[in-house]
Structure 1
Amino acid sequence: MKIIVPMAGRGSRLRPHTLTIPKPLIPIAGKPIVHRLVEDIAGVLNQDIEEIAFIIHESFGKNVEEDLIAIAEKLGSKGTIYYQNEALGTGHAIMCAKDSLSGPAVIAYADTLIRADFDLDQNADSVIWVKKVDQPEAFGVVNLNEENHIIELVEKPKEFVSDLAVIGIYYFKDVAVLKNELQLVLDNNIIHGGEYQINDGIKQMMAKGMVFVPGEVAEWMDCGNKDVTVETNSRMLGFLHQDGEELVAATVKLENATIIPPCYIGEDVVLINATVGPNVSLGNGCKVLDATIKNSLVQTNSTIKNANLDNAMIGSHASFDGNFTSISIGDYSVLE
């Protein structure tokens, strides 16, 4: 089994945090989004992962590439880096990794997290992960027949088709078939919205009689902008706490401080005259003095003092001193 992860976009809706780090490497509950994503997929598949191929922009740099290779190796997999330097769509991004497109594979876009527990349908040619939503008109949805096979993909339907939204994770029994269809999309310049789309390759597979089935996830968590990323951090902390995972490092130093779970507190964090939680992630090396923080996400080596924060997102190596509450400041920022 392989996992293909297109992640070349910078994540403009999450600026300023994505000005210094690609969105998929922003930590959620102490671990990068893309790391949690591939771990969750590997857990659902319950199979050995031979290779994880990451499709990035060349400008991300060697440090990012090394981090991604390390993520793959932690899962016992080979890590491969491909580049998509032009924003030409999902189909184009996948084809940038065409040398890895063979055999069974999952394609997963690295701006979403899931909680799921099900077996793959071995009789299907493909599984498209979906989640029931309240406003299907805002999403791409699947249309099912009486046999529970996917017969159509409909983008933001004006009239009700189904309430099963496509979340951006796909399994292919042989991803080489998708590669062949996407090559035809590129060769024939089939473009929607100015881009080459994965859906056009999938639709051609359906037209040839290949069987697509839905795989419904229990939870679907987005990381598109600051507010939903903070919410996803809170939800993930809740799940990990329920799972009994240890989230507070042994090296945390407390002085007249209280931690209200669930919280992730990284290595060498210092809390003095502070109340932290619930639903807070503090990365390694952070210092919190004379402050209260809840429902917030702070990356690494940042200092917060004289603050009362709620729904806040703070980058790495930042310094905040003040009375603001719902804030969003990036790496190396100083508000004093």
Structure 2
Amino acid sequence: MKVIVLAAGQGTRLRPYTNDRPKCMVELAGKPLLHRQLETLKACGIEANDIALVGGYLKEKLNAPGVHIFVNERFEETNMVSTLFCAESFVDPGHDLLICYGDIVYEQRVLETLLRTDGDIVLAADQQWRRLWSLRMDEPLADAETFKIASGKIVELGKKPRSYDEVQAQYMGLIKIRFNKVKDFVDFYNSLDKAAIYDGKDFENMYMTSFLQALIDSGWNVRPALISNGWLEVDTATELERYNKMQSKKLLSSYIELKN
């Protein structure tokens, strides 16, 4: 398996913690988010040499020994899909591809569930997302995105939901592409209309969910790997401070078990 961790963004909502470091290097319970993720990957048998990290903002502050470093030099004016394909040369059609957002942490069981789920593309998704979102914000539905499943396949994600019924789970930012679809995945991206608008964004700024929806609409077999909690997204300074306070009081373990 090859792994690409996306960590080019500026993390403006995590300031002041990102004033002097990339978002993935911000510490949760005394350890950088990136290091927690790398430890979980290693626990599942994935070594540093099979991992690529795509940086951008304060890239010189990235600390990931043994990991291949790529750079999105245009991180200020492009979005996550563009960041992913800055590491296109790292992709190997003979291996499964795992794509990870740089601002998440997750338990080993979450990754293991994703790895054993079959599909052209598999997305880790939290069925108990509303519990976590209620910790993060006052109005969970306001920040949630649609995630609809039919006959075991994901048929829609990333839209603005009108009700909780349209959010059967919440996409986490963990994606697995089966080895025999990796080349097609890259070719699909390169074949997209670069002049088109994708959910209100131009090609270079399309959301990852918009790209995934385009694959779904083209007939790809996109499956969910459903989990129940066991992960965190660290998006704002308020969230980080709340998580750290809960961890110090031993209250965070009902959401995620963090290793020291």
Task: Flag whether TM exceeds 0.5 (same fold).
Answer: yes
Unaligned 5+ segments in structure 1 are 248-336
| Shift in alpha-carbon separation, 1:185–1:149, aligned structure 2, 3 A | same
1:80 corresponds to: 69
SS in 2 for 1:80: strand
1:55 corresponds to: 54
1:37 corresponds to: 37
| Shift in alpha-carbon separation, 1:222–1:184, aligned structure 2, 3 A | same
Counterparts of 2:189 and 2:6, CA distance in 1: 15
Counterparts of 2:258 and 2:52, CA distance in 1: 31
Matched, 1:171 2:176: yes
CA contact (8 A) 1:121 1:127 kept: no
Counterparts of 2:28 and 2:39, CA distance in 1: 13
SS in 2 for 1:213: strand
| Shift in alpha-carbon separation, 1:61–1:152, aligned structure 2, 3 A | closer
Larger of the two Rg values belongs to structure:
1
1:225 corresponds to: 236
Output the TM-score relative to the length of structure 2.
0.76
Q: Give per-residue Cα distances to partners, 1:80-137, cap 9 Å, x unaligned.
A: 3222424322221111111112331111111121225144345311210111322455
SS in 1 for 2:192: helix
SS in 2 for 1:214: strand
Kindly indicate whether structure 1 or structure 2 has the higher relative contact order, using CA contacts under 8 Å at least 6 residues apart: 2
Unaligned 5+ segments in structure 2 are 131-139
Counterparts of 2:257 and 2:22, CA distance in 1: 28
| Shift in alpha-carbon separation, 1:97–1:189, aligned structure 2, 3 A | farther
| Shift in alpha-carbon separation, 1:137–1:201, aligned structure 2, 3 A | same
1:215 corresponds to: 225
CA RMSD of aligned residues (A): 2.8
Aligned length: 233
Amino acid at match of 2:35: H
Structure with a larger share of its residues in helix? 2
| Shift in alpha-carbon separation, 1:225–1:22, aligned structure 2, 3 A | same
Match of residue 129, structure 2, among 133, 137, 141: 133
Counterparts of 2:55 and 2:80, CA distance in 1: 12
Q: Give per-residue Cα distances to partners, 1:17-36, cap 9 Å, x unaligned.
A: 21111121012222211111
Output the TM-score relative to the length of structure 1.
0.61
